[in-house]
Structure 1
Amino acid sequence: MQTILGSGGAIGVELAKALNVYTNNIRLVSWTPQKINDTDILFPADLNETDQLYKAIEGSEICYLTIGFDYDITVWEAKWLPFMQQVIAACARHKTRLVFFDNVYAIGGNHVNHITETSPLSPVSRKGAVRAKVDQLIIENVEKGNIDAIIARSPDFFGPVKHKSLMMGLIYDSLIHNNPAKWLCNADVIHSTGFTRELAIGTAMLGNHDNTFNQIWNLPVATEGLTGRQWVELFATVLNKPNQIEILSHEAIAAIGLSDTIIRETHEMLYQYDRDYYFDSSKFNNRFDYTPISNREAVLFTVESLAVKAV
């Protein structure tokens, strides 16, 4: 049994598709799980309830944690660390291996100029501090031999499921409504962005191959680092829309944040947008002799998928 905690999100949906290559014994866990593959086993649960969390993990060989709490620092500080403590305890009890789909918030400052698996935990935001504590908790339990685990890291991402993708809101939604695309701080620095399908394929590969556990892995992302301006041009070309961009300054973002919760919560993360932010997945690519999908192919797939949904 391979179990996905948080199966209804952008990554969880794609991960269920990717895991079907390796097994037809997949358990999907969320508030109201929906089948992705015909053989999926649905397990409705409130994962904030400890007994339900333990039952969701019981019997699982591998547990993939793709859950995302509300993008609110007060929620993150209250929930993430206690939740991960319970996940680790449940995995230890049931002898389940853990694959944690993580972001790179724990890496801050100029360390984001070139993000590898050896980049130090160096948070410069409250959200980053939360994720650093979560990462450290996993690492400590691996070192103590309590669990086998993978920290699978991803940068910002985009794909056909637009929910929680800042890029899709800033660029795709703006262009599709014939408005200029928006970008944060500086459109002329690199901003690596992952593609949800590719990230999910990488996560499934890590969970189902030898000698991948008890390590940190950067998930596969196109090696070509595009700037914000280049991302807008790429989407505009594929959408056949005018290539127009509006740059939001720190001050403008702060003002918008007074009425927009997501933008307000993004403000402390602007160090990812005012300097080069390059995500290096060479370790994964070399281990699996893997070439990630190009940025253009990923954008084309996303746009075509959304066009089909709209019909």
Structure 2
Amino acid sequence: MSVHVVLGARGVIGQETVAALAGDADEVVAVARGPVVVPDGVQTRQADLLDAAQTRAAVAGADVVHLVAGLRYDHTVWAREWPVIVRNAAVAARDAGARLIYLDNVYAYGRVQGPMREDTPLRPISRKGRVRAEARELLLSFPNVVVGVAADFFGPGARTSVFNRLVIDALGRGRAGRWLFDAGLAHSMTYTPDIGSGLAALGRSSETGVWHLPTAEALRGVDYIDIAAGGPGRARVLTRGLLRLAALVDREARETLEMGYQYEHPYLFDSSAFEQRFGIAPTPFSVGVRRAIEAERPRLRA
């Protein structure tokens, strides 16, 4: 039996990772800054990951540490806090003799021509991308580190997801689903339960290095919205000009504008290496979006 400690268990990815690990023969410990609801049999601990001593205590006895914590979507917060969290987790896992499974995104790749793969060079063109690239490079200098990478994500309870906010929430309120800049481009999206299952599989394996987590074949923005809406004709495109106007008064719009290049050319994410190695196929988008809509319907009705 292995002990898996999940750092950042309160967020949606943390919850999915805990759920994927729970119910097996492994012992699971969910760590968050405050109280967290967990499945039966899962232990909980509280820790501030900005504090090295608390992080060390949180991972005591671990065989595997999963770092899936998130921060407020603000480049200044990322630059100040992410390096501290990453180093604290890496040092604590190393000192505990544990493997570290780290959830990353694609920001460090920058603008990519063609599919993003595990060997895609890190060439960030954004402030948040530079933070992510430096964190990945630091982590891979430690022993027994595995990086699981996800594309833009969506899923049940994923309220920080751009797709959840612009499409699922909008449709649930009777409005048109919105897409950034060009709804005719293909854009990969990863389903959050697949992220949890993928990280659990990495944690139970002996693999190291970088792996792209299972992600379904990319569709066009308009196709995603049509499937979510149950029919065509309900897509609205938000232009770069509109986002610039919103950015004058809204911090999240400013942060999203910096990453807008991801919606101006095809955004293709290749997870075939993971799927072949672990035999885990991604959830079809039509299935995942139906589950996400069902999960959000009570909140949107309220």
**1 CA distance for matches of 2:270 and 2:35?**
33
SS in 2 for 1:140: coil
The reply on whether 1:251 has 2:241 as its aligned counterpart is yes
Gaps of 5+ in 2: none
Matched, 1:190 2:196: no
Report what 1:202 is aligned to.
Answer: 198
Partner SS, residue 266 of structure 1: helix
Give the 3-state SS of the residue equivalent to 2:140 in structure 1: helix
2:279 is the alignment partner of 1:285: no
Aligned to 1:95: 97
Deviations 1:151-201 (A, max 9, x none): 000011111113211111111111111111111111111110010011111
What secondary structure, in the 3-state scheme, does the structure 2 residue paired with 1:109 have?
A: coil
2:285 to 292, 295, 299: 295
In structure 2, C-alpha distance between the alignment counterparts of 1:140 and 1:150, rounded to whole Å = 11
Match of 2:46 in 1: 44
- Alignment length (residue pairs): 299
Separation of aligned partners in 2, 1:249 and 1:35: 39
Per-residue displacement from partner, 1:132-159 (whole Å, max 9, x unpaired)? 0001111222xxxxx2010000011111
* Secondary structure of residue in 2 paired with 1:86: helix
TM-score, normalised by the number of residues in structure 2: 0.94
CA contact (8 A) 1:194 1:221 kept: yes
| 1:252-282 per-position Cα deviation (integer Å, ceiling 9, x unaligned) | 1111122222221011111111110011100
Residue identity opposite 2:235 in structure 1: I
Aligned to 1:290, what secondary structure does the other structure show? coil
Identity %: 32
Partner Cα distance (1:259, 1:27) in 2: 41
Over the aligned positions, Cα root-mean-square deviation in angstroms equals 1.6
1:261 aligns with 2:257: no
- Could you tell me how far apart the structure 2 residues matched to 1:33 and 1:136 are? 32
Query: What residue number does 1:115 align with?
Result: 116
**Counterpart of 1:136?**
137
Q: By how many angstroms is 1:74 displaced?
A: 0.6
Q: CA deviation at 1:6?
A: 0.4
Once the two structures are superposed, the pairs formed by residues 3-42 of structure 1 within 5 Å of their partners are 3-42=5-44
Secondary structure in structure 2 of the residue aligned to 1:2? strand
Contact 1:102 1:151 in 2 (8 A): yes
Deviation at 1:306, TM superposition (A): 2.7
Offset, 1:308: 5.9
Secondary structure in structure 2 of the residue aligned to 1:110:
coil
Q: Deviations over 1:287-309 (max 9, x none)?
A: 12332211111111212233366
| Contact 2:172–2:297 (Cα < 8 Å) also in 1 | no
Alpha-carbon offset, residue 35 of structure 1: 3.4
Cα deviation code 1:221-243 (max 9, x no counterpart): 11x21111111101100xx7x73
2:212 to 218, 229, 232: 218
What's 2:71 paired with?
A: 69
Residue 133 of structure 1 aligns to which amino acid in structure 2? Answer: E
2:229 aligned partner, one-letter code: A
What's the TM-score once normalised by structure 1's chain length? 0.92
Match in the other structure for 1:144: none
Deviation at 1:24, TM superposition (A): 4.6
Q: Unpaired segments of 5 or more residues in structure 1? A: 142-146
What amino acid does structure 2 have at the position aligned with 1:225?
Answer: A
What secondary structure, in the 3-state scheme, does the structure 1 residue paired with 2:87 have?
Answer: helix
Residue identity in the other structure for 2:95: R
What is the deviation of 1:47?
1.7
Contact persistence 1:60–1:94 (CA under 8 A): yes
CA distance in 2, matches of 1:202, 1:21: 16
> Following the alignment from structure 1 to structure 2, what is the Cα–Cα distance between the partners of residues 192 and 267?
19
2:170 aligned with 1:169: no
Partners of 1:290 and 1:58 lie apart in 2 by 30
